[in-house]
Amino acid sequence: MERFKVGDTVKVRIDSPSGHYRTPIYIQGMTGVIESVCGRFKNPEKLAYGHDGYPLETLYTVEFIQRDLWPDYTGNIADKLLIDIYEHWLNTINEG
């Protein structure tokens, strides 16, 4: 069962574990909204070491306001960035 649903506000975990992970630094620590639930997939952090990738991890498309991400962003104030992020990289707002 996925932890978040469409419309939930989430905050991206700040971390730089050794090995391979798919959460770029520019999005870490930022607050966004769940745009869609993509499904459950093998965990690339485990696949990266030749493991089977289980347990499956829920992947979400999360939307962020571009102006929140880039202080000198000059595009439309409504512009958004959509990025796919795995569940273990997302916290609730209260979790910080």
Q: Which amino acid appears at position 25 of this protein?
A: I
Please give the sequence-ordered ranges of beta strands (E in DSSP) within the chain, or none if there are none: 9-12, 31-41, 57-65, 80-86, 90-92
Q: Which residues bind other proteins (CB under 8 A)?
A: 13-16, 18-20, 24-30, 44, 47-50, 69-71, 96
Q: How far is the CB of 36 from other proteins (least distance, A)?
A: 21
- Least separation in angstroms between residue 78's CB and other proteins is 20
Q: Return the number of the residue (2 or 73) whose C-beta is nearest other proteins.
A: 73
Nearer to other proteins, 14 or 33 (CB): 14
User: Alpha-carbon Rg of the chain, whole angstroms?
Assistant: 14
Nearest distance from C-beta of residue 23 to other proteins, angstroms: 9
Whether 4 contacts 18, CB under 8 Å: no
